[in-house]
């Protein structure tokens, strides 16, 4: 790995109590370039702009994918990654679907650990605080040709993160737009998936909702995802969640929730979640909770569903009554080293390994 540390670090200007998530970037980033059929050297360099032209193929033809993950600092200042091997597996799954060259585990995990180690001072400490990390792959060849690119970049950037979306939200169940289609790229974290979601979400916001529950593209009869999250439904004391497919992202937070629910002895059904069954459960009082899970937000609890012109309120449960709150608490305690880790999910980032 080539390491070029910043000669003008900005860490002294960072205020952990006053920063903007997604707009505040740490001092360094990872880059690695692909050309002539192979990946070059991994580089850790100061964060900043990289020169590209509007003819870059990733911009014109959409060969771009990414991951979302976090690093956490415990009460003793130790830093941990959470299940990074799952993000490595998934970024290569996305890359394969988008005809992007896959990366090695050494590139991915080595780059992550080096970046987090050198910029560990950027990780805020405290409840709900973390470092959000964005590994990404994109085509960089300068060519207006509708074909597979011959040049790519692997990069990792990061931004300090704090708790948000803490208040319950209202969501509209989509009966027209879909997030992904069978045979498409729904199971990949393709950049274009997010672009395609913005317009329907904007329409839902104009109707007074915060987000969308996406339904299947064929009949709009089944739940698939919610916004940029996987979705869970609790009817009585059973949790239901859609099974993953080529349309539904295999979320790492989703998988963690399933394992934590099993450990608590909560009954979980993974399969088709029919919209009409959820609406009927709301009407007869057996629908207890609906929530979304994802890396950035961890858990977003829904207070109301919108469906075909109806606004359907959901129960307000205490944290002691809520499965969503209990499972979130279990997960966050493992991530932040405040509880035992029976699954081996925490990965310690050793200190000063990459100092130069």
- Does residue 43 share a domain with residue 182? no
- Does residue 178 share a domain with residue 310? yes
Average pLDDT, the chain: 96
- Does residue 216 share a domain with residue 123? no
- Does residue 152 share a domain with residue 10? yes
Whether 296 is in a domain gets the answer yes
Q: Given this model, what pLDDT does residue 163 score? A: 74
- Does residue 197 share a domain with residue 84? no
- Does residue 271 share a domain with residue 286? yes
- CA distance readout (Å), 11 to 26, 122, 130: 8, 7, 15
Q: Given this model, what pLDDT does residue 165 score? A: 55
- Does residue 173 share a domain with residue 132? no
pLDDT of 355 over the 80 cut: no
pLDDT of 210 over the 60 cut: yes
Residue-wise pLDDT tens digits, 182-195: 999 999 999 999 99
Higher pLDDT, 353 or 342: 342
Whether 341 is in a domain gets the answer no
Residue-wise pLDDT tens digits, 251-305: 999 999 999 999 999 999 999 999 999 999 999 999 999 999 999 889 999 999 9
pLDDT band at 144 (very low <50, low <70, confident <90, very high): very high
Whether 54 is in a domain gets the answer yes
- Residues 140-165: what's their mean pLDDT? 93
Q: Which of 123, 141, 163 is the last residue of a domain?
A: 163
pLDDT of 316 over the 90 cut: yes
- Residues 6-16: what's their mean pLDDT? 95
Helix H or strand E encompassing 195: helix 191-206
Whether 327 is in a domain gets the answer no
Q: Given this model, what pLDDT does residue 164 score? A: 64
Q: Given this model, what pLDDT does residue 352 score? A: 82
- Residues 2-27: what's their mean pLDDT? 94
- CA distance readout (Å), 152 to 104, 110, 171, 263: 14, 19, 37, 42
pLDDT of 346 over the 70 cut: yes
- Does residue 139 share a domain with residue 55? yes
- Does residue 192 share a domain with residue 152? no
Hey, what long-range contacts does 311-316 have (CB within 8 A, 24 or more apart)? Answer: 311/170, 312/279, 312/282, 312/283, 314/282, 314/287, 314/289, 314/290, 315/287, 315/288, 315/289, 316/168
Whether 333 is in a domain gets the answer no
Whether 344 is in a domain gets the answer no
- Look up residue 182 and give its two tokens: 């069978």
Q: Which of 163, 193, 214 is the last residue of a domain?
A: 163
Q: Given this model, what pLDDT does residue 208 score? A: 96
Residue 35 belongs to a domain with what CATH number?
3.30.470.10
pTM of the model: 0.95
Whether 290 is in a domain gets the answer yes
- Does residue 197 share a domain with residue 142? no
Please give the residue range of the domain that contains residue 91: 2-163
Q: Which of 163, 183, 198 is the last residue of a domain?
A: 163
For the chain, the domain total comes to 2
Higher pLDDT, 352 or 106: 106
Q: Given this model, what pLDDT does residue 353 score? A: 78
- The CA distance from 328 to 313, in Å, is 22
Whether 123 is in a domain gets the answer yes
Residue 289 belongs to a domain with what CATH number?
3.20.10.10
- Does residue 244 share a domain with residue 100? no
- Does residue 277 share a domain with residue 206? yes
- The CA distance from 354 to 243, in Å, is 41
Residue-wise pLDDT tens digits, 65-79: 999 999 999 999 999
- Residues 330-342: what's their mean pLDDT? 97
Residue-wise pLDDT tens digits, 33-43: 999 999 999 99
Beta-carbon contacts of 195 under 8 Å, excluding residues fewer than 6 positions away, are none
- Residues 135-151: what's their mean pLDDT? 98
């Amino acid at each position: 790995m080539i390491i070029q540390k910043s000669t003008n670090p900005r860490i002294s200007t960072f205020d952990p109590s006053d920063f903007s998530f997604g707009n505040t970037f740490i001092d360094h980033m990872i880059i690695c370039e692909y050309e002539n059929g192979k990946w070059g050297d991994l580089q850790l360099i100061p964060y900043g702009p990289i020169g590209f032209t509007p003819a870059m193929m990733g911009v014109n033809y959409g060969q771009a994918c990414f991951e979302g993950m976090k690093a956490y600092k415990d009460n003793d200042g130790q830093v941990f990654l959470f299940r990074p091997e799952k993000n490595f597996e998934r970024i290569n799954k996305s890359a394969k679907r988008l005809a992007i060259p896959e990366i090695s585990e050494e590139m991915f995990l080595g780059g992550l650990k080096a970046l987090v180690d050198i910029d560990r001072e950027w990780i805020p400490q405290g409840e709900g605080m973390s470092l959000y990390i964005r590994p990404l792959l994109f085509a960089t060849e300068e060519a207006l040709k509708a074909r597979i690119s011959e040049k790519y970049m692997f990069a990792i950037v990061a931004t300090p993160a704090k708790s948000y979306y803490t208040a319950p939200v209202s969501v509209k169940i989509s009966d027209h737009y879909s997030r992904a289609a069978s045979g498409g790229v729904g199971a990949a974290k393709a950049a274009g998936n997010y672009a395609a979601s913005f317009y329907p979400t904007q329409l839902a916001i104009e109707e007074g909702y915060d987000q969308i529950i996406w339904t299947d593209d064929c009949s709009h009869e089944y739940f698939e995802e919610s916004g940029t999250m996987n979705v869970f439904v609790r009817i009585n004391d059973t949790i239901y969640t859609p099974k993953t497919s080529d349309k539904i992202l295999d979320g790492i937070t989703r998988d963690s929730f399933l394992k934590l629910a099993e450990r608590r002895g909560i009954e979980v059904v993974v399969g088709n979640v029919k919209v009409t069954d959820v609406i009927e459960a709301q009407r007869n009082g057996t629908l207890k909770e609906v929530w979304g899970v994802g890396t950035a937000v961890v858990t977003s609890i829904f207070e109301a569903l919108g469906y075909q012109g109806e606004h359907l309120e959901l129960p307000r449960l205490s944290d002691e009554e809520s499965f969503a709150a209990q499972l979130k608490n279990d997960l966050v305690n493992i991530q932040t080293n405040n509880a035992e880790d029976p699954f081996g999910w925490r990965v310690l980032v050793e200190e000063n390994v990459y100092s130069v």
